[in-house]
């Protein structure tokens, strides 16, 4: 019996390796060398001449310039964008969770609505999103009629007024980025057995209690997955001001800036995952 289990375990390992093999091949063939070479260039002054690429070692010079000497290259745009991301992440997660729960209910035309919610993911490329934002198509007209800009500038702290207004100016487009999250939440919702809900209703649980005691705890692993996806997706958003500064004018500075930004993304992601994990543990403790 143990030999059969060993064979089955080996078969699952081989099966998993075969599934991940295309990604591993693509990473090694097309991503690994450029990634390593960009790290190499971040420690060198790079000049493109007629005879080829000439590199001169400069050590941590570019990192010191970006982080300390010329902080405006990073911080002037980074902090407002981090505030925008802190606003957009909960908006996207909450909206996608509500939409997934509604799309899981049986009603006529449900499949059509699922397709409609996912269509922006297919058609909304970076150039399309930039053009829509430039034309002001992502704004909510009702917010302009209420003249919220004056109230936000009067009542919000100094550094938060502009990020909140920026998010409101492209609020509809932010919701467009919820298609994948809705799909993940919808798949997660269908993993919760219907017998659990039936037993809860027999015991007299109301829909509000069912959501907090069954649905939300059951979707916590998918909440974590959506959080990771949303953070990575937002940090490559078309309007991201940091990415626009990674150019070919100075390969060394751009490479150093890209690696610093990568470290910031990892730190922000770790902070968000840790915060969500703490909330999940507190929620699990209160539902026991």
CA distance 140 to 124: 19
- Under CATH, which architecture does the 69-287 domain have? Orthogonal Bundle (1.10)
CA distance 273 to 228: 8
Q: pLDDT confidence of 163, banded at 50, 70, 90?
A: low
The mean pLDDT of 154-177, rounded to a whole number, is: 67
Percent of the chain with pLDDT over 70: 75
CA distance 169 to 111: 30
Point out which residues pair with 52 in neighbouring strands: 49
CB atoms within 10 A of CB 245: 17
Is residue 228 within 8 A of residue 269, CB to CB? The reply is yes
> Average per-residue pLDDT in the chain?
79
Per-residue pLDDT, 127: 64
Q: pLDDT confidence of 132, banded at 50, 70, 90?
A: low
Is residue 156 within 8 A of residue 164, CB to CB? The reply is yes
Look at 29 and 134; give whichever has higher pLDDT.
Answer: 29
The mean pLDDT of 225-241, rounded to a whole number, is: 81
Sorted by where each begins, the domain ranges of the chain are 69-287
pLDDT above 60: residue 135? yes
pLDDT above 80: residue 30? yes
pLDDT above 80: residue 159? no
Element (H, E) at 287: helix 251-287
Task: Classify residue 67 by burial, with Cβ atoms within 10 Å: 0-12, 13-18, 19+.
Answer: middle
The mean pLDDT of 202-225, rounded to a whole number, is: 85
Per-residue pLDDT, 195: 87
pLDDT above 60: residue 193? yes
Point out which residues pair with 44 in neighbouring strands: 57
Per-residue pLDDT, 73: 67
Summarised one tens digit per residue, pLDDT across range 68-116 is 876 666 777 777 788 878 888 888 888 889 888 888 888 887 778 777 7
Element (H, E) at 94: helix 75-103
Q: pLDDT confidence of 287, banded at 50, 70, 90?
A: low
Per-residue pLDDT, 112: 81
In this structure, of 31-40, 112-121, 150-159, the range with the lowest mean pLDDT score is 150-159
Task: Find which of 111-120, 155-164, 260-269 is predicted with most confidence, using mean pLDDT.
Answer: 260-269
CA distance 101 to 205: 18
CA distance 59 to 44: 7
Q: pLDDT confidence of 130, banded at 50, 70, 90?
A: low
Per-residue pLDDT, 261: 87
Q: Where are the alpha helices (DSSP H) in 27-170?
A: 32-41, 61-64, 75-103, 110-123, 126-134, 141-146, 148-155, 161-169
């Amino acid at each position: 019996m143990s030999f059969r289990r060993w064979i089955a375990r080996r078969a699952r390992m081989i099966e998993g390796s075969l599934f991940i093999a295309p990604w591993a091949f693509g990473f090694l063939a097309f991503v690994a060398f450029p990634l390593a070479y960009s790290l190499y260039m971040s420690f060198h002054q790079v000049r493109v001449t007629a005879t080829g690429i000439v590199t001169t070692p400069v050590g941590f010079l570019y990192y010191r310039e970006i982080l300390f000497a010329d902080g405006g290259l990073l911080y002037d745009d980074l902090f407002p964008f981090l505030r925008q991301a802190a606003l957009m992440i909960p908006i996207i997660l909450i909206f996608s969770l509500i939409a997934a729960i509604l799309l899981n209910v049986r009603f006529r035309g449900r499949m059509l609505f699922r397709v409609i919610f996912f269509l922006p993911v297919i058609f909304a490329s970076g150039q399309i999103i930039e053009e829509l934002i430039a034309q002001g198509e992502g704004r909510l007209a009702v917010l302009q009629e209420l003249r919220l800009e004056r109230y936000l500038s009067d009542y919000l702290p100094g550094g938060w007024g502009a990020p909140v207004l920026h998010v409101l100016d492209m609020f509809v487009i932010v919701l467009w980025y919820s298609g994948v999250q809705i799909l993940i939440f919808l798949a997660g919702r269908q993993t919760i057995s219907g017998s659990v809900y039936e037993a809860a209703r027999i015991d007299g649980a109301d829909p509000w209690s069912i959501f907090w005691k069954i649905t939300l705890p059951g979707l916590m692993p998918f909440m974590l997955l959506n959080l990771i996806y949303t953070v990575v997706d937002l940090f490559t958003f078309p309007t991201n001001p940091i990415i626009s500064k990674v150019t070919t004018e100075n390969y060394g500075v751009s490479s150093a800036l890209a690696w610093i930004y990568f470290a910031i993304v990892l730190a922000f992601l770790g902070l968000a995952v840790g915060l969500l994990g703490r909330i999940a543990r507190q929620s699990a403790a209160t539902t026991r």
